Amino acid sequence: MTASDLSTSTTAEGVSERTAAHIDATERHAAHNYHPLPVVLARGEGAWVVDVDGKRYLDCLAGYSALNFGHSNERLVAVAREQLGTLTLTSRAFFNDKLSGFAEALTRLTGKDMILPMNSGAEAVETAIKVSRKWGYEVKGVPAGQATIITMEGNFHGRTTTIVSFSDDDVATSGYAPFTTGFRSAKYGDIEAIAAAIDETTVGVLFEPIQGEGGVVMPPEGFLTRLRELCTERNVLMIADEIQSGLARSGKTFACDHEGVVPDIYIMGKALGGGIYPVSAIAADRDVMDVITPGSHGSTFGGNPLAAAIGTEVVAMLEEGTFQARSAEIGEQLTAGFGPLVGQGLSDVRVRGAWAGIDIDPSLMTGRQMSEALMARGILAKDTHGSTVRFAPPLVASDEDVAVLVTAVTEILAAARA
């Protein structure tokens, strides 16, 4: 008997037999590197998804911002389908007829001279680290083997061994030592601490304009501007991880745009593939990117025709500006809805575009409990760091969709306080 043959009768755990079968098979055969909510999704359209039992949910996570343009976006699906029937992979051993257009489009969007395409966000971060170190040795003149990069406390850039080497999350680091050296941590948003950490070996400052995993944490106003000035003054690369914050999520094309700041290296991923396919890249000017030479870095799938075709369409959609504008509108609605809840069950609210982090009074409930209560009401979200919950609905969410979320959070908090 397969899962599709099962009835929708519920188990002792309160889920249907069909849902339980999928969860059991996943838990038995896939490593437990996530602790997902007990919902099994089968299809999606726009801002909504449907589980195997036919129940609809408003998706307020959007694949950690990978689905900025919504599920099954017609334009992106059409491009992907067309490319699937022609050519999907060549490797970079050969040129292909889609990478040229993608590279041209993405350099135009970022204002940079060149891109280096990869697949996952973590690969893009690793690429930025490698490029920065090589630039430090070949251009800045840092002695061989001594390059350092300043990172931020509370950061999240991925899960590779090198990246977790500069994480301060015990869960992410426990059991994975020894770690990669060459990183120094500074307090996020503290320009004086960053300045003090820079010396003649420093090649770059790696940061998130908004710390997504931390709960949509924003630095003090003016920090990005001062960081740009500091990096220029001290001849170090300003490396902006815009994997979650970029591509319209914050109400601007890039979160750095909120202060009119242009980093030396943009790191992009997630929404660059439209939630359809893993696409990532870094973008920098020629004086930085020219340190990469044939054979010094690569990826079999990086820049493949399918990825490039999807990425080109993503850029075209962003250049229209409608998604940035819609993100800003959603942000105004979230601010108006969540703001009055501070002191009424919330201790803090942070909103930037269609991205919000709420800190729940821990005496009422945990973030996981809030996420479970929302799921019961047909809304999917994800907790982080105890009593914090993040919301990142697709940018195609309607005003009515956002109102559903605000109402649900309001009512759940009211019930918890009663």
User: Which CATH number do you get for residue 192?
Assistant: 3.40.640.10
Q: pTM to 2 decimals?
A: 0.96
Rounded distance between C-alpha atoms, residue 228 and residue 224, angstroms: 6
Asked whether 246 and 317 are in contact (CB, 8 A), the reply is: no
Last residue of a domain, one of 269, 303, 319: 319
Do 308 and 376 lie in one domain? The reply is no
Asked whether 38 and 52 are in contact (CB, 8 A), the reply is: no
Q: Is residue 179 annotated as part of the catalytic site, yes or no?
A: no
Do 282 and 372 lie in one domain? The reply is no
Do 161 and 216 lie in one domain? The reply is yes
Last residue of a domain, one of 291, 319, 347: 319
Q: What residues contact 412, with CB distance under 8 A and at least 6 apart?
A: 370, 373, 374, 377
Do 307 and 329 lie in one domain? The reply is no
Asked whether 144 and 302 are in contact (CB, 8 A), the reply is: no
Sign, Cα dihedral of 140, 146, 151, 155 = positive
Q: Is residue 241 annotated as part of the catalytic site, yes or no?
A: yes
Q: Is residue 187 annotated as part of the catalytic site, yes or no?
A: no
Do 206 and 291 lie in one domain? The reply is yes
Please give the backbone phi and psi of residue 349, each rounded to the nearest 5 degrees, phi first: -135, 135
Q: What is the dihedral of CA 265, 269, 273, 277, to 10 degrees?
A: 130
Asked if residue 155 is part of any domain, the answer here is yes
Amino acid at site 280: S
In order along its 418 residues, the chain shows pLDDT tens digits of: 233 344 456 665 679 999 999 999 999 999 999 999 999 999 999 999 999 999 999 999 999 999 999 999 999 999 999 999 999 999 999 999 999 999 999 999 999 999 999 999 999 999 999 999 999 999 999 999 999 999 999 999 999 999 999 999 999 999 999 999 999 999 999 999 999 999 999 999 999 999 999 999 999 999 999 999 999 999 999 999 999 999 999 999 999 999 999 999 999 999 999 999 999 999 999 999 999 999 999 999 999 999 999 999 999 999 999 999 999 999 999 999 999 999 999 999 999 999 999 999 999 999 999 999 999 999 999 999 899 999 999 999 999 999 999 999 999 999 999 9
Asked if residue 154 is part of any domain, the answer here is yes
Asked whether 121 and 243 are in contact (CB, 8 A), the reply is: yes
Do 291 and 163 lie in one domain? The reply is yes
How many domains are contained in the chain?
2
Alpha helices in 69-179 (DSSP H): 74-84, 99-110, 121-135, 161-164, 170-173
Kindly name the residue from 270, 338, 382, 401 that is annotated as catalytic.
Answer: 270
Asked if residue 11 is part of any domain, the answer here is no
Do 173 and 275 lie in one domain? The reply is yes
User: Which CATH number do you get for residue 378?
Assistant: 3.90.1150.10
Last residue of a domain, one of 267, 287, 319: 319
Do 159 and 299 lie in one domain? The reply is yes
Give the per-residue pLDDT at 14.
Answer: 79
The count of C-alpha atoms lying within 13 angstroms of the C-alpha of 324, restricted to the half-sphere facing its C-beta, is 16
Asked if residue 8 is part of any domain, the answer here is no
Do 326 and 258 lie in one domain? The reply is no
Work out whether strand 382-384 and strand 388-391 pair parallel, antiparallel, or are unpaired.
antiparallel
Do 49 and 91 lie in one domain? The reply is no
Asked if residue 125 is part of any domain, the answer here is yes
Kindly name the residue from 51, 59, 241, 383 that is annotated as catalytic.
Answer: 241
Asked if residue 21 is part of any domain, the answer here is no
Asked if residue 357 is part of any domain, the answer here is yes
Q: Which domain holds residue 282?
A: 74-319
Sign, Cα dihedral of 305, 310, 316, 319 = negative
Do 315 and 346 lie in one domain? The reply is no
Kindly name the residue from 156, 166, 183, 338 that is annotated as catalytic.
Answer: 156
Considering only CA atoms, which of 80, 94, 69, 91 is closest in space to residue 298? 91
Asked if residue 2 is part of any domain, the answer here is no
Instruction: Report the length, in residues, of the chain.
Output: 418
Do 213 and 339 lie in one domain? The reply is no
